[in-house]
Homo-oligomer: A and B are copies of this chain.
């Protein structure tokens, strides 16, 4: 079984809070109590990564409004995260928390550690306020992610959480109809 529906495992890490320029400690408990998006990428100072992180920043305000905190994670240290933020034009725009995972614990917890390379794969996870993983997306190296699809998934996950017993059909958008599972619907759609 995949991570979907499971609670995130324990970790403790140092992070660079790009929003206020401070170093902070982040644990699995820090993610509880509100929605989170956790975005893994292989390494600072590389190619696809900054465009993905910049793209994620573009959705940051919208995600914040939805009550979602955003975390990026690589196996680099928080020192390197700060340095990258200081020196890269794209990365300097970032306002969310950049977690350093040199001990590889978080990457291993989310099953995205490439053991041979010591780097994380490009996985994005949506986690609910109970710490339960609700959605996962992982791409091979070389293929960038589109952060805009995250917003729709978060909205659907939040709708389902707030409206137990209803389900969001494919391509569901906020405001459109949901499905209320009932015996009559079985085999009727």
| A positions within 8 Å CB-CB of B | 1-5, 21-23, 43-48, 50-52, 54-56, 75-77, 79-80, 82-84, 86-90, 101-105, 111-119, 121-123, 132-149, 152-153, 156-157, 160, 166-172, 179, 181, 183, 185-189
A-B contact pairs, 14 of them (CB 8 A): A2-B121, A4-B138, A44-B80, A45-B77, A79-B187, A88-B188, A102-B117, A104-B104, A105-B118, A132-B140, A135-B138, A137-B137, A140-B157, A145-B170
Q: Which residues of B are found within 8 Å of A144, using beta-carbon distances?
A: 156, 167-172
Partner of A160, one of B2, B80, B113, B142: B142
B187 near A22: Cβ-Cβ < 8 Å: no
